[in-house]
Amino acid sequence: MNVVKTASRLIRAESPSGGEAPAARVLMEEAEALGFRPRLDDAGNVEFALGEGPFEVLLTGHMDVVPAGEADAWPHPPYGGEVVEGELWGRGAVDMKGALAAMLGAMADLAADPPPGRVRFLAVVQEEVGGLGSRFAAERLRADAAILGEPSNNRLMRGHRGRIEVWADYEGRLAHAARPELGHNPLPDLGRFLAALEAFETAEHPELGPASCTPTYVESRPRATNVVPGLAQVCVDYRFVPGEDPEAILERMRLIAGDASVYVPESERASGEVTMRYPMVFPPHLVPADHPLLQAALAELKQPEAGIWWFTTDAPYLAASGAVVLGLGPGDPELAHTTRERVPVSELERARTLYVRLVRRLLEVLHGKA
């Protein structure tokens, strides 16, 4: 199997969140050509397994990608999947169709020389918008360990901070901007809230680092330049660490928000036969530094310590199933979601090899052969 060609096919199969079917078809076709029997679950996730035994390792990643933006802003077409000077370009090259292709290649290699246990491939939907695919799969899967292919420059990772999306709504009263005294302008109140957030106290975690509180979006309605608005809203992206209570963070924001309605919105998402509704709270994830599976994986890769992602992933939902979730993926995470997204071909090939080694080592440890 040619990992680069498969990754290129996946990039050309545009798959925004909620529209992953083109990428799923590519993965199904590639898996069938390798002799596997893939299936779509009720949520539209692609899944297949090889081997038997009491222990299972999961290779997993997501099929959906964020929008590419204006094609003219890209040095190479965002959905072209072109290889230029040893790098594969396009939306999803890093986040994370390159990893899916490398995992598929690893499954082919493992099938040629089966390890002592079961290995499952899982490509999920809607990671970028709340993790519906992984949340659904975690309800029924019982893997002992999982390798999540989010980009890490092929370094082993063990966790990340969580995220809370907090909104504050300020009500105003419409009026002509030439007679502002006839209404009530909510924007000064919103401005005072933004100023107060500058001094908002955040926690510090010894391993995940500091929490952060970042206003990211402001809107007033109606969108008119000569009207005192009737509503002003601000969104705050709060990255929290273990030990912080999301509800307590929300209450502290309410104390400085004046008369605003401060809340965490809920999102309803659907895919295939599955509909889920969940608040916009995304948990942190952290595998203990001394965990035997993590230590075995680090020794296998000759990596002194595991890294920390600075973004959120599906790891917490997968971990809820009981799996120990480690991370490793090809590509520079700083290129994800940008118009410069690309991954070196050499990293794709190396990721394939590393996935094979990690699966074998983890199964050995699980079987007590450490």
* Residues identified as active-site: 64, 127
Instruction: Give the angle 267-269-275 at the CA atoms, nearest 5°.
Output: 120
Cis peptide bond upstream of 222, omega within 30: yes
Report the distance separating Cα 123 and Cα 120, nearest Å.
10
With contact defined as beta carbons under 8 Å apart, do 326 and 156 qualify?
yes
Rounded to 5°, angle at Cα 219 from 217 and 225: 140
- DSSP for 126-186 reads -GGGT-HHHHHHHTT---SEEEE---STT--B-EE-EEEEEEEEEE-B-EETT-GGGSB--
Gyration radius of the chain over CA positions: 23
User: 1: which 2 tokens?
Assistant: 């199997």
Q: What angle do CA 62, 208, 249 make, to 5 degrees?
A: 90
Tokens matching residue 59: 């290779």
Question: What whole-number distance in Å separates Cα of residue 183 and Cα of residue 31?
Answer: 63
Q: Which among 239, 159, 243 is positioned nearest to 200, based on CA atoms? A: 239
Task: Tell me which residue of 162, 167, 17, 37 sits closest to 107, measured CA to CA.
Answer: 37
